[in-house]
Structure 1
Amino acid sequence: MTTDDRTQNSATAQFLAARDFLLERRGDHEAALAGFTWPRPRHFNWALDWFDHIAADNDADALRIVEDDGTSSALTFAELSARSDAAANWLRAQGVAPGDRILVMLGNQRELWEVMLGAMKLRAVVIPATPLLGAADLRDRVERGLVRHVVARAEDTARFDEVPGTYTRIAAGSRVPAGWRRLADMDAQGGPADGPGAGPFAGPFVPEGETLATDPLMLYFTSGTTARPKLVEHTHASYPIGHLSTMYWIGLRPGDVHLNIASPGWAKHAWSNLFAPWNAGATVFVHNYTRFDAERLMETMDRHGVTTFCAPPTVWRMLIQSDLTKLARPPREAVAAGEPLNPEVIEKVRAAWGVTIRDGFGQTETTLQIGNFPGVPVKPGSMGRPAPGYGIVLLDPVTGKESADEGELCVDLRTRPAGVTTGYRDDPERTAAAMADGLYRTGDIASRDADGYLTYVGRSDDVFKASDYKISPFELESALLEHEAVAEAAVVPAPDALRLAVPKAYVTLAEGWEPGPDTARALFEHSRTVLSPYKRIRRIEFGELPKTVSGKIRRVELRELTEAGSTGEYDEADLT
């Protein structure tokens, strides 16, 4: 046995032991809390040391995708292992080297998982990106992310015409524009119909050197309180190993069919469409619908035997508008994350399915920190208790000291939890502030009851969520100020029955502009032009902005005004 073989086997054995410990403690949270320890291998490459390990001679489905028209396709673990080897070999031939940053902007298509696994095997650093991004967002990611390679859908390549750089351009699709390399060329002498890895890049992938568990693996751009999104770094340990906590929270078991509704490019997609299911040896199931249809979703879940289901509260709120009893075989486990889930939604699902939706809490910067776990009583409105391997501290926002009952949620780094980011790339000041005194500060406020259950209170800054997407007010305000009609702007969340909240802008107009539907219409059009669809301003109200003595805008006053139901606003839906 070579040194590399011994290192790999040791890392795999450590990971397997930790995983099995959590699987065996399902329903016994106290035992899981008391006995779980994070595996800490020096060398670890999840794609090579874990995925390929469980994929050997494994004919169970690793990935199953159902398209909008009902057709489906699947790859077994063994097939996906071979295809990711071919992807790694082909990407290496295109110049992708260890440490290179590769922006991956694909939809829910098999190439996404092949490239993600292949890039991991290569030790490239993946920057996931949603296909919703516009040219300005992409330019920022390419520039600040130091991107050397881009993999995108062929239909999205035109957006990169406005993104300068010498990066390698790779497109997935049958019709690839000039200047872009065809990802399908990894199957040049065959193709999926001829079997996985049928092309010239078939055959086992041989890595160049070992992967340190501390090597960077993923970089996520996530909105903050400034116009420039934060760049969150994760390693080959923090997300792959860290998501053992997410696996435990969902209640995944080997052989499960797991449906998670999340868009590629966001952290939750990696949480529950990559790491958590395959940590357990479950099938990743994807329903590729273009428009949400609750009845069709339930029919698809029945037909394909979905056993575990994760969705953001927006989807749960849409589901309960339909007849939930049409789902003949409800999932064994149902969870929600992204924002607090309304108790009435939980009750309606429980009444129809006999299943309790379990809430959970985490961030792009972490894996699942807090949750309502299988077999543990759920308290309405609470997001649960700390996950195994996570120590949670509440800091009083005024005194900065630990609080027993309410304060800023912090992760105790002194216990070395595996699932926490290494920091914000190229931003040491922000990293130092977020991780001072041995605590990672989440920026979220929570309360804790006598039984240790934590309830979400709100953000400590102005960032809010709309339809499960995080929105930075400053970024939207900056976009509005590009229009000549806008002198000042402040963006706050406006309550919405379906999306929980939508961006509302309070605007002070420049001289020569009059408030009214024509001006509002012009600003909505500007918003659609300069912002990605999920960030668009949905409501506008004109007037002077309330300010402090020092001249700062009082957003808290605007939020209170909005929640009270101000009547002078214009709604985008009414003007388009």
Structure 2
Amino acid sequence: MSKEAAAEGAAEFRAARDLLLRLRDDREAAHREFIWPRPAVFNWALDHFDEVAERRPDRTALWIVDEEGEEEKYTYRYMSERSSQVANWLYGQGVHPGDRILVMLGAQVELWEITLAAIKLGAVVVPTATNLTEGDLLDRLDRGEIKHVVCSPVDTEKFIGLHGHWTRICVGYMDGWLGYPDSEHAGLEFHPPSRVGPDDPLLIYFTSGTTAKPKLVVHTQRSYPVGHLSTMYWLGLRPGDVHLNVSVPGWGKHAYSSVFGPWNAEATVLTVRQNAFSPERLLDEIVRRGVDTFCAPPTVWRMLVQTDLASWKVGLREALAAGEPLNAEVVDRVREAWGITVRDGFGQTETTLLIGNSPGQPVIPGSMGCEMPGYRVVLIDPATDKPADTGEICVDMTNAPPGVMKGYADSPELTRETTRRGLFHTGDLAARDANGNITYIGRGDDVFKASDYRISPFELESVLVEHEYVAEAAVVPSPDPLRLAVAKAFVTPAPGVAPTAETARAILAHTRDRLSPYKRVRRLEFADLPKTVSGKIRRVQLRREEAERGTIADGSRNPNEFWEEDLSEPDD
């Protein structure tokens, strides 16, 4: 494939990117004018990132702040040259286009170097969190058909009992492992042994397993690099911005907001390392580092609003939340303290950003916003399989938007089921108003019936976290002999709040005043919420545990569990 074809592909990509940057505050025009680029020849690292490095060699691409506040800055030129060097070295160690590399690294420069190098080489990256169990790793090595493993010295121990024909590469030096530092002796110019196609695999993600055994999501040389133009648009990034994303390496959101989104915009990726999360320290760094755009999951936002936010004079232009819907109460507190509105967005590991409140547009309380430029989102009634105002969030695949996965690597059947009738089915439920604003309801398998009414856990959780005693909450059905099920809330108390009967009474009274009788939270248990390693609440685990308890006939309670009837006053 010629250099001319690669240059044409890069130019097509940049033209689409530039249009979104120009129309960042004009959603209607962006929807009307944006067309997905579909270059026949395009390697994002070689044709986009390296080109940025030529034009902006001294701009900071990656900025890492460690536990002690010490910083490391890496320019676009450095990351371009270093990734070419690593690509040469990996090829010399037997890594070839199409090979799958399990990359288990924290927020360290080598993670970004290897990601760029693998893209240049055409290898397939399998991002992996560092806190997985031996069973998780064995599953990934086996089902992922891994040929090479990259990890830090401390994590090599996790692989001692795991056998297989895969190359061992250590970011450091360990007996029996290839030493990644040796890559510093490789050449700085990289010429790919072959050009992989835009539909060839680039990334394989193991989903975080909120509801079932992790699935193997395949993204291509086009789907994440090009597809994340939608994420760049939602983030509201501008060239040269400092973008801080709170996300654990190894999961899709890290690629969303710490790789492709900001680097598509020629911005700076900032990461702040914390062994134990401190909201105060994170806020200090936002101020100290001059952060322009900030994205964090709802768990982090809920911790931030436990502080006196107004004490930090942040210079943020954009504030965003993703992973799960953010409760309106948190949005209000941030707006009161900083004068900016936290904008929600919706996407999955299988896609790029699908729905969001775009920059500069009015935010409707509780709404995720509208579909992103380039996507057509339809809601399908699960009962009729027809379009409706309330239903499953689906992507119209008529024009094959690039940001949707290629499929599930080990399940053609599940791929066909998920993409049936020309739609990509997300499994999430939402409602759309007359103006096109989409409001999240919940996972299809999280919604339940109580007294013949459908209950959305998110709606009840939003009311719960409004109360000052509640830090986080998750609602699941609890078996009941009369109503079939009642809503039960698992609550993590706010700092300094004791899990007492009086606390439970106050919280339940709060929900009683704000919810219809059929939606009321009837049971409450104080507990630490189980979460996936990517930070999402595992309602499926709580739901299963409640179902296994069955109908309570003997009046027994779990520790720190309270029922509405336990706390009733004589005149209630």
TM-score (norm 1): 0.80
Superposed counterparts of 1:81-480, under 5 Å = 81-173=80-172, 176-187=173-184, 199=185, 201-224=186-209, 227-403=212-388, 405-462=389-446
- The change in CA–CA distance for 1:571 and 1:428 in structure 2 (over 3 A counts) is farther
Superposed counterparts of 1:458-537, under 5 Å = 458-462=442-446, 494-496=490-492
| Counterpart among 15, 19, 39 of residue 17 in structure 1 | 15
C-alpha distance in 2 between matches for 1:240 and 1:112: 17
- Residues 490-513 of structure 1 show CA distances to partners (whole Å, capped at 9, x for unaligned) of xx98344579xxxxxxxxxxxxxx
C-alpha distance in 2 between matches for 1:498 and 1:210: 54
Q: Residue 245 of structure 1: SS of its match in structure 2?
A: helix
C-alpha distance in 2 between matches for 1:212 and 1:106: 27
AA aligned to 2:132 is L
**Conservation of the 8 A alpha-carbon contact between 2:323 and 2:536:** no
The CA deviation at 1:437 is 0.6
**Conservation of the 8 A alpha-carbon contact between 1:61 and 1:283:** yes
Q: Residue 358 of structure 1: SS of its match in structure 2?
A: strand
- The change in CA–CA distance for 1:356 and 1:532 in structure 2 (over 3 A counts) is closer
C-alpha distance in 2 between matches for 1:542 and 1:240: 37
Q: Residue 411 of structure 1: SS of its match in structure 2?
A: strand
**Conservation of the 8 A alpha-carbon contact between 1:298 and 1:326:** no
- The change in CA–CA distance for 1:209 and 1:541 in structure 2 (over 3 A counts) is closer
Residue in 2 that maps onto 1:53: 51
C-alpha distance in 2 between matches for 1:160 and 1:183: 17
- Residues 158-199 of structure 1 show CA distances to partners (whole Å, capped at 9, x for unaligned) of 1111222110011113xx331111111112xxxxxxxxxxx2
The CA deviation at 1:250 is 0.5
Q: Which moved more, 1:154-163 or 1:121-130?
A: 154-163
C-alpha distance in 1 between matches for 2:48 and 2:544: 58
- Residues 87-119 of structure 1 show CA distances to partners (whole Å, capped at 9, x for unaligned) of 101111111000000000000000000000001
Q: Residue 56 of structure 1: SS of its match in structure 2?
A: helix
- The change in CA–CA distance for 1:326 and 1:399 in structure 2 (over 3 A counts) is same
Q: Residue 300 of structure 1: SS of its match in structure 2?
A: helix
- How many pairs were matched up? 490
**Conservation of the 8 A alpha-carbon contact between 2:208 and 2:534:** no
C-alpha distance in 1 between matches for 2:210 and 2:545: 22
AA aligned to 2:73 is A
Q: Residue 386 of structure 2: SS of its match in structure 1?
A: coil
C-alpha distance in 2 between matches for 1:537 and 1:435: 25
C-alpha distance in 1 between matches for 2:59 and 2:544: 61
AA aligned to 2:409 is R
Residue in 2 that maps onto 1:521: none
C-alpha distance in 1 between matches for 2:207 and 2:544: 31
AA aligned to 1:65 is I
Matched, 1:568 2:557: yes
C-alpha distance in 1 between matches for 2:250 and 2:201: 17
C-alpha distance in 2 between matches for 1:82 and 1:242: 25
Q: Residue 162 of structure 1: SS of its match in structure 2?
A: coil
Residue in 1 that maps onto 2:518: none
C-alpha distance in 1 between matches for 2:544 and 2:224: 46
AA aligned to 2:396 is D
AA aligned to 2:417 is A
C-alpha distance in 2 between matches for 1:160 and 1:15: 40
Matched, 1:30 2:14: no
Structure 2 unaligned spans of 5+: 448-456, 462-473, 477-487, 496-526, 562-572
**Conservation of the 8 A alpha-carbon contact between 1:540 and 1:571:** no
The CA deviation at 1:568 is 1.9
AA aligned to 1:384 is G
**Conservation of the 8 A alpha-carbon contact between 1:233 and 1:424:** yes
AA aligned to 1:376 is Q
- The change in CA–CA distance for 1:33 and 1:534 in structure 2 (over 3 A counts) is closer
- The change in CA–CA distance for 1:544 and 1:372 in structure 2 (over 3 A counts) is closer
**Conservation of the 8 A alpha-carbon contact between 1:260 and 1:272:** yes
- Residues 422-441 of structure 1 show CA distances to partners (whole Å, capped at 9, x for unaligned) of 11112110000000010000
C-alpha distance in 2 between matches for 1:138 and 1:65: 27
AA aligned to 1:277 is P
**Conservation of the 8 A alpha-carbon contact between 1:89 and 1:205:** yes
- The change in CA–CA distance for 1:373 and 1:263 in structure 2 (over 3 A counts) is same
The CA deviation at 1:537 is 9.2
- The change in CA–CA distance for 1:432 and 1:22 in structure 2 (over 3 A counts) is same
The CA deviation at 1:376 is 0.6
**Conservation of the 8 A alpha-carbon contact between 1:254 and 1:281:** yes
The CA deviation at 1:539 is 13
AA aligned to 1:100 is D
Q: Residue 151 of structure 1: SS of its match in structure 2?
A: strand
C-alpha distance in 2 between matches for 1:544 and 1:336: 29
Q: Residue 419 of structure 1: SS of its match in structure 2?
A: coil
AA aligned to 1:459 is R
The CA deviation at 1:354 is 1.1
The CA deviation at 1:42 is 1.1
- Residues 207-238 of structure 1 show CA distances to partners (whole Å, capped at 9, x for unaligned) of 01222111100000114576531100000110
C-alpha distance in 2 between matches for 1:100 and 1:81: 22
C-alpha distance in 1 between matches for 2:10 and 2:362: 33
C-alpha distance in 2 between matches for 1:567 and 1:327: 47
The CA deviation at 1:532 is 7.2
**Conservation of the 8 A alpha-carbon contact between 1:11 and 1:41:** yes
**Conservation of the 8 A alpha-carbon contact between 2:376 and 2:395:** yes
- The change in CA–CA distance for 1:567 and 1:295 in structure 2 (over 3 A counts) is farther
- The change in CA–CA distance for 1:534 and 1:179 in structure 2 (over 3 A counts) is farther
- The change in CA–CA distance for 1:166 and 1:543 in structure 2 (over 3 A counts) is closer
**Conservation of the 8 A alpha-carbon contact between 2:243 and 2:270:** yes
C-alpha distance in 1 between matches for 2:236 and 2:545: 51
- Residues 14-72 of structure 1 show CA distances to partners (whole Å, capped at 9, x for unaligned) of 01000000001011100001110000011211110110010115101000000010100
The CA deviation at 1:290 is 1.4
Q: Which moved more, 1:177-186 or 1:268-277?
A: 177-186
- Residues 396-437 of structure 1 show CA distances to partners (whole Å, capped at 9, x for unaligned) of 11011111x100000000022110001111211000000001
The CA deviation at 1:295 is 2.2
Q: Residue 415 of structure 1: SS of its match in structure 2?
A: coil
Cα RMSD after superposing both structures: 3.1
- Residues 359-392 of structure 1 show CA distances to partners (whole Å, capped at 9, x for unaligned) of 0000000000000001110011110000000000
